[in-house]
Structure 1
Amino acid sequence: MFATLKNKIKEETGDDVSTSTSQPHQRHLNNNTNNNNNNYRLRSRRISINSNFADDVGGGIYNEQSEQLCQLRGQCNELTSRVSSLSQSLQQLQEEKTRVDKTNEILLESVRVAQTQKDIYCEEQEKIQNLQQVEIDKLKNLMGFREQEAVDHMSSIRQYQQQIENLNQEMDRLRTIEPIAEDLRDELEQLRHATQHEKNQLTTTLAAVQEENRNLKMRMQIVEQSRLETLAKLSGDQQVQALVHEHKLLEQHLEETHLQLSDIKSSWSGQNFALEKQVSRLSQQVAEETTEKRKALKARDDAIESRKQVAFELEKANIEIKQRNEKIKLLEDEVDELTVALKECREENEQQILFERNKS
């Protein structure tokens, strides 16, 4: 009887109840679907038992069985519709689950890729920060070196300025010495003129003395001739007395002449010695002053040349200091830019890390 009922259900619905419950989709039903199938099976068994019991009772109740059969058909159709709907829902859920699993896998892969990218980005940022820090340290060292060079140049400039002041003082001192040297040269020239004048006077005096000596010699010759003539006229005793008297006069006159010559020689020697000493002193002083002036002129020329050189070096140092200041300013600007860039990179890195954390 149950087999006949099952065949009739199959003819009317086109589905086999036993096979419909054993399709591949049935394996994926959830607990509610399994419970519904179990309930359906229990009802079918009850219907089968009731049908067998009805067959045993007899055909007197065939009409009642027909009504039950219609009810069972309706229930079977309803259950079949529910099973189909549940199967479709289950298939959709499985598809949704598969899609969600794939999405989760994609998201997990994206998270892994993002984490890898974040690690690479952090490493790159760390490398960039290290390189920037190294460059900043290099720039700071370079700035310190340039500042030390600027200090050294300023010290050299101060030394040059001190040398210029010393040279200016030396030039001022030499300017005060130059009039003294001019006065000494004038005095020496005057002394030379005076010496030449005195020499001329002494030469004139010597010529006069020599002329007087010649006159005296001539007079002596005349006196000698007169004496000889007089002696020839006198007796022997008178000649002796005359000769003795003449000899005394001549000795006296010779002594006076020697004294006069000694005085003249002493006077000339003293004057010549004084003049020579004065000339030597003045010559030595003039030589010293000339040497001093030559040294002063050379020192002045050297000072002028050194001043020009110092001025050139000072101008060169000022230009170099200006260039170094400009370079230091550019380096400071570059350091500021690198600092700002480093700060921006750190902020961007922190934002990226925060974004990745929130995304994870």
Structure 2
Amino acid sequence: MTEHALGQTPFPQRQLGTGGPLVGAVGLGCMGMSQSYGSPDDTESLAALNRAIDLGVTLIDTADVYGAGANERLIGPVVSRRREEIVLATKCGFVADTDPGSAPGGVDGRPEHVREAIRASLRRLGVEHVDLYYLHRVDPDVPVEETIGAFGELVREGLIGHVGISEASPENLRRAHATYPISALQSEWSLFTRGLEVDVVPVCRELGITVVPFSPLGRGLLTGTVTSVADLPENDMRKSMPRFADGNLDANLALVAEVQSIAGEHDATAGQVALAWLLAQGADVVPIPGTKRVKYVEENAAAATLALTDSDLARLDTLRPAGARYPEGSFAAKLAHQPT
């Protein structure tokens, strides 16, 4: 399926928000190039980034916190050179630790921080503006109207093109959108993370906000390629995640076998089926699978042309994983609207 899909027809596109830019139906998340999933491989990561753009994967997603700024610096030479070919997204709101391999040290939604953060991101990226700027997490100590108001000022100054928000509750999403139009909500959504379908996705559709799912492959779990945490690098964050824990992993791999069964019927991979399922949820969904490998960039891009049947979708809709998204009480769990 991968070879058939690539280069045969124009890459499918979807629109960000109401009147926002068109982007490839599948984007690219760049976080894993610099942190969380083993040691970086800059050469392969940059090859993967260039290959993605060549294929029509135009929504390129990073953040100031990824690798404590290292990810923006890594991709900067490519995105600045190929600026007119992409829709560039980055984020602010987390306070990055100075250690590239560590977790964020907190959140900061103050308007003055937003201004400092965008200018630092632009310097690292080597560009004059970004197309989409997200509030990475809502600061519980700063009214979201104040933070998003600062984003609106950045639009008027030409430093950013459109405003996004990540992992927001329906209430904060409405408040943010009332302050300045939100083009995209980025939250975790996959066959194994379904919580936002209850209350967040309906609000996005009411307001005309595109949903940009991160971790659409369940942090690799839905690909079937992770069969034991012992095979993961020591610095891979999945070693501490509940869905990869003893007992849970075996139960989840049994569910992945159903995804693989459907994939076999389409001459596809399990990962492609998982992405195609998300794309089938609506034309306002643009998943951003992350990878640092050319092979997976090509595989993920090809999912944009995979059409699942109603029967396939019904079978996939029944899957429910064992284990929560994040460890109980963790920093990430406390800030996520949908902890599971």
Task: Normalising by structure 1, report the TM-score.
Answer: 0.13
Based on CA coordinates, which of the two structures has the bigger radius of gyration? 1
Compare relative contact order (CA 8 Å, sep 6+) and give the higher one, 1 or 2.
1
Determine which structure has the larger strand proportion and give its number. 2
Determine which structure has the larger helix proportion and give its number. 1
Task: Normalising by structure 2, report the TM-score.
Answer: 0.14
